[in-house]
A = this chain, B = another copy of it.
């Protein structure tokens, strides 16, 4: 059994974006395991694309001003026992990470209390990179959402809406990513609070993501986008990677949120299935 020669899945077809591909692959994979036959199944997995929306966590990566870099400390070695292991130490809001409601709101949901079905959602990507390239304080506004909906249709309920500002292109240069001015004030795009309130109240999103370090524009005086989103019991994901490779609509996102008791957030693996 486990017949060789079966068509491989995403691995060999990673370059071909196809919504039909995702559905076909999931369908074929699911069907394949239920067919009570040992015959080779050439239909095993149709083309499909997985986009990794997660930055690699490493010591030199951009962090919010004042936050420490992540650290790894060896605590087991191959030469002594046959296994290697590190102790991990980092603040929760490091790398591509979740903002749980309790990050902003006392008594709000912590990481382990977010409902698992909310971690799988239609992915909506709203591109504001054209204005962000000339204005680092640009925000995703209600007008940007309306433009997206005119083009692609209404945002479906329980979607995950992500702002793509192009900030990922600065990732390798932490200083450019954090973008402090002469007074040590960071400048980077974020969600306009009115737009955040609309996404929660009218669109019923499960969560909102950004490719910068903060749901709010970095110069926000009051962090009202955080308040609107997390205050409504929805989650945020900050510092998403590679959103430029994701389609504006039609993908499904899986947010691999951390699950430690009482957590205000934490590093998470985020995958877009196209």
- Please give the residue numbers on chain A whose beta carbons come within 8 Å of chain B beta carbons, in ascending order: 1-4, 6, 8-11, 14, 19, 22-23, 26-27, 29-39, 41, 44-45, 48, 50-52, 54-58, 70, 72, 75, 78, 82-93, 95-96, 102-104, 106, 112, 115-122, 124, 146, 149, 151-159, 198, 202-204, 223, 226, 249-252, 254-269, 271, 273
Q: Establish whether residues A86 and B92, one from each chain, have CB atoms under 8 Å apart when the complex forms.
A: yes
Q: Establish whether residues B70 and A153, one from each chain, have CB atoms under 8 Å apart when the complex forms.
A: no
**Known: A104-B82, A269-B258. Contact between A38 and B6, CB under 8 A?**
no
Residue in contact with A88 in the complex, picked from B41, B90, B271, CB distance below 8 Å: B90
Q: Which residues of B contact A48 (CB under 8 A)?
A: 117
Tell me, in angstroms, the Cα distance from A126 to B259 when the chains sit together.
25
Tell me how far the C-beta of A60 lies from the nearest C-beta in chain B, rounded to whole angstroms: 10
Closest to A122 in B: B29
**Known: A33-B249, A154-B3, A156-B29. Contact between A14 and B117, CB under 8 A?**
yes
**Known: A23-B23, A84-B103. Contact between A34 and B269, CB under 8 A?**
no
Residue in contact with A254 in the complex, picked from B88, B151, B254, CB distance below 8 Å: B254
Q: Could you name 10 residue pairs across A and B whose Cβ atoms are closer than 8 Å?
A: A19-B31, A34-B152, A35-B153, A39-B154, A41-B156, A50-B119, A51-B116, A84-B264, A88-B90, A88-B92
Tell me, in angstroms, the Cα distance from A265 to B102 when the chains sit together.
27
Tell me, in angstroms, the Cα distance from A156 to B259 when the chains sit together.
30
Q: Establish whether residues B88 and A104, one from each chain, have CB atoms under 8 Å apart when the complex forms.
A: no
Copies of this chain, whole number? 2
In the complex, the 5 A-B pairs of residues with the closest C-beta atoms, listed nearest first:
A256-B256, A33-B249, A10-B117, A2-B203, A52-B116
Closest to A90 in B: B88
Residue in contact with A257 in the complex, picked from B82, B83, B120, B269, CB distance below 8 Å: B269
Q: Which residues of B contact A84 (CB under 8 A)?
A: 102-104, 106, 264
Q: Establish whether residues B262 and A10, one from each chain, have CB atoms under 8 Å apart when the complex forms.
A: no
Tell me, in angstroms, the Cα distance from A156 to B58 when the chains sit together.
35
**Known: A84-B103, A86-B91. Contact between A122 and B2, CB under 8 A?**
no
Closest to A36 in B: B153
